């Protein structure tokens, strides 16, 4: 009977050890996930800034095109 109790205790210790390892692994996974989420937020921020910058460049390009057309007309460089 004592041998059976020792075997059961040994199994319970082994199970406790495995559960502790799983808890440690889960903490690490949560930490890594938080890091990934923070990085994703930063990437989204940078993407937003890039889109804004592209829009500003397009506005500047459009204004320059209008100015060039105006200059061409004044100098009579266009076929129209």
Q: Annotate 9-52 with DSSP letters as a single string.
A: HHHHHHHHHHHHHHHHHHHHHHHHHHHHHHHHHHHHHHHHHHHH
The 10s digit of each residue's pLDDT in 1-53 is 888 899 999 999 999 999 999 999 999 999 999 999 999 999 999 999 999 99
Q: What is the mean pLDDT of residues 48-76?
A: 95
Query: What is d(CA 16, CA 33) in angstroms, rounded to the nearest whole number?
Result: 25
Question: What's the pLDDT at 80?
Answer: 55
pTM: 0.61
Check residue 1 and give its pLDDT. Answer: 80
């Amino acid at each position: 009977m004592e041998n059976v109790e020792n075997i059961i205790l040994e199994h319970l210790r082994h199970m406790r050890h495995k559960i502790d390892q799983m808890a440690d692994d889960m903490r690490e996974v949560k930490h890594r996930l938080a890091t990934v989420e923070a990085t994703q937020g930063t990437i989204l921020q940078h993407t937003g800034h890039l889109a804004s910058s592209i829009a500003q460049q397009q506005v500047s390009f459009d204004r320059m095109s209008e100015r060039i057309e105006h200059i061409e007309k004044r100098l009579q460089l266009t076929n129209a």
